[in-house]
């Protein structure tokens, strides 16, 4: 049955994507609970972190089952699929690709293993030494790739999975303590073998990861909002450089690296859900405070403050509170339109942004507007917005942005435009203002943004604004989204010794879900 591609985003224009996060991860250890459904609802809460594919793996202590597919969480799973994913441990993932293309082969969790057992791993982040890790995997495998690498997986996640399972006889926890120090970049891992749930966070803690408690178990997730939806109480964040293991003996932790905290400031600006808390600071409050700072730093005489829905709403509220200018809804967003898989006609395409956003003419006509948004990437969205508002009768359009100018790409799990595509690269504020057609333009200062987070400046990564990367990039230039696409060979004529076989799913039907054991492992993949 034909269905949409599921790529629902905040993007208003196809050629001006907002910064996209890498993924959301969720893990649960809870004997006696329906862990597959807990993982489903946890991923539902994390859907904003990745809309390309989704997957859940479960273990009952003797075998691992996994189901994954392209699309939104609600499109991938139904009662039938969740019903066959039995056990007391689950690992879930929703993906936005930052290493490796958006294909079924690259969906997560990834599987790997040997005769001693199986590992299922989900990853949020982006490793900058993937090419180096590929070389290491090649050297250890003597050219004979195993698991998902062998079948065309081109993600850094598959590389880590291969490294965790390439030492038969070595327990996964021990092997993790050997592998994790080799990784550079941003990573939050939630993974499991047949008996134990694991979680690990990079020494900088760039991406968020939290630990929660259920009445009869434990949960780890990318954001606190996922804990809320499954009824788990927040215990604490997984610390930078920490490895957590949870099994029938309880919870234990160890350090694989000294912490050097550099949490991503853009999580506060845009990426995280507003109802999430990071490092003790409510994200919604941080965004409202950014709006207040904007009003102090860039005041203007105006009649109405309106947000760019939905990303600019909290900051717009703060701007209105601080300035005394009334807050209003000046535009209506169509909540059901994302990236359309049916291409619009040229006539509709020329309307551009109106497919997703339409002005309330009776509200904005004759008004001097302050339009608040979280960031400017290429500038195409803001240019279309300003034009649309003027056509609807706005007297003046003053744009205010709750982050500094984005001048540098991110290599730690956010898919930004390239530096050449970023409008702020090489242009001053007035040049950008002229380009988008606004009467005035104001960005929040770096100090103002950081101050709103209530985090020490030296504990935050601001690389996309400053170019100061806390983890040095490889000098040989072997990094970026496509670094593995042509470098991990696919063994098309693989012999029968494959440990995990993953074939693309056929067209969906009403037939019962068939779950079959694959290869020499107790790892299974359920296909519709």
Q: Are 377 and 416 in contact (CB under 8 A)?
A: yes
Of 385, 367, 363, residue with least CA distance to 308: 385
Which residue in the list 23, 188, 264, 464 is annotated as catalytic? 23
Q: What gap in Å lies between CA 471 and CA 238, rounded to an integer?
A: 20
Strand partners, 55: 68, 93
The verdict on whether 410 is a catalytic residue reads: no
From the DSSP assignment, how many helices (H) and strands (E) are in the chain? 16, 27
Residues 6+ apart with CB under 8 A from 465: 265, 403, 404, 405, 406, 407, 408, 446, 449
- Residue 71 backbone phi and psi in degrees, to 5: 120, -175
| β-strands 396-401, 368-373 pairing | parallel
Cα-based angle 196, 199, 205 (whole degrees, multiple of 5): 170
Residue 462 DSSP label? -
Of 368, 386, 367, 373, residue with least CA distance to 443: 373
Whether the bond between 109 and the residue before it is cis, its omega within 30 degrees of 0, is yes
Positions annotated as catalytic residues are 23
């Amino acid at each position: 049955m034909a269905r949409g591609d599921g790529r629902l985003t905040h993007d208003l224009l196809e050629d001006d994507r907002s910064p996209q996060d890498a993924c959301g991860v969720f893990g649960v250890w809870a004997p006696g609970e329906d862990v597959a459904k807990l993982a489903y609802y946890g991923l539902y809460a994390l859907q904003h972190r990745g809309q390309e594919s989704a997957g859940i793996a479960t273990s009952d202590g003797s075998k691992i089952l996994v189901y994954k597919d392209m699309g939104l969480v609600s499109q991938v799973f139904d009662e039938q699929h969740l019903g066959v994913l039995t056990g007391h441990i689950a690992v879930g993932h929703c993906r936005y690709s930052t290493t490796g293309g958006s294909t079924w082969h690259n969906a997560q969790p990834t599987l790997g293993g040997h005769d001693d057992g199986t590992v299922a791993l989900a990853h949020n982040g982006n490793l900058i030494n993937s090419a180096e890790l590929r070389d290491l995997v090649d050297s250890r495998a003597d050219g004979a790739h195993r698991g998902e690498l062998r079948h065309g997986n081109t993600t850094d996640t598959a590389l880590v999975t291969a490294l965790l399972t390439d030492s038969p006889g070595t327990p996964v926890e021990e092997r993790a303590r050997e592998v994790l120090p080799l990784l550079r970049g941003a990573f939050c891992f939630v993974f499991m073998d047949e008996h134990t749930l694991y979680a690990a966070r990079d020494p900088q803690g760039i991406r968020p990861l939290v630990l929660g408690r259920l009445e009869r178990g434990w949960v780890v997730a990318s954001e606190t909002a996922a804990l809320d939806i499954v009824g788990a109480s927040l215990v604490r964040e997984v610390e930078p450089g920490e490895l957590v293991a949870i099994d029938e003996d309880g919870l234990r932790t160890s350090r694989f690296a000294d912490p050097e905290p550099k949490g991503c400031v853009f999580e506060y600006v845009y990426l995280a859900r507003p109802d999430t808390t990071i490092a003790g600071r409510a994200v919604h409050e941080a965004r409202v405070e950014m709006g207040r700072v904007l009003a102090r730093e860039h005041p203007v005489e105006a009649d109405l403050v309106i947000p760019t829905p939905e990303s600019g709403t909290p900051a717009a509220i703060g701007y209105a509170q601080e300035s005394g200018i009334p807050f209003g809804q000046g535009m209506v967003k169509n909540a059901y339109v994302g990236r359309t898989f049916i291409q619009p006609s040229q006539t509709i395409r020329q309307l551009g942004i109106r497919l997703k956003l339409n002005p309330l003419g009776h509200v904005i006509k004759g008004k001097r507007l302050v339009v608040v948004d979280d960031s400017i990437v290429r500038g195409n969205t803001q240019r279309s917005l300003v034009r649309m508002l003027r056509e609807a009768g706005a007297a003046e359009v003053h744009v205010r942005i709750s982050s500094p100018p984005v001048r540098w790409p991110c290599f730690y799990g956010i898919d930004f435009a390239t530096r050449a595509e970023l409008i702020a690269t090489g242009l001053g504020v007035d040049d950008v203002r002229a380009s988008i057609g606004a009467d005035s333009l104001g960005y929040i200062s770096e100090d103002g943004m950081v101050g709103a987070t209530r985090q020490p400046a030296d504990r935050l990564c601001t690389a996309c604004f400053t170019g100061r990367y806390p983890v040095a990039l490889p000098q040989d230039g072997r990094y970026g989204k496509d670094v593995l696409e042509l470098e991990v060979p696919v063994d098309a004529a693989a012999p029968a010794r494959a440990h995990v076989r993953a074939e693309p799913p056929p067209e969906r039907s009403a037939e019962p879900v068939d779950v079959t054991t694959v290869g020499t492992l107790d790892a299974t993949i359920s296909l519709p």
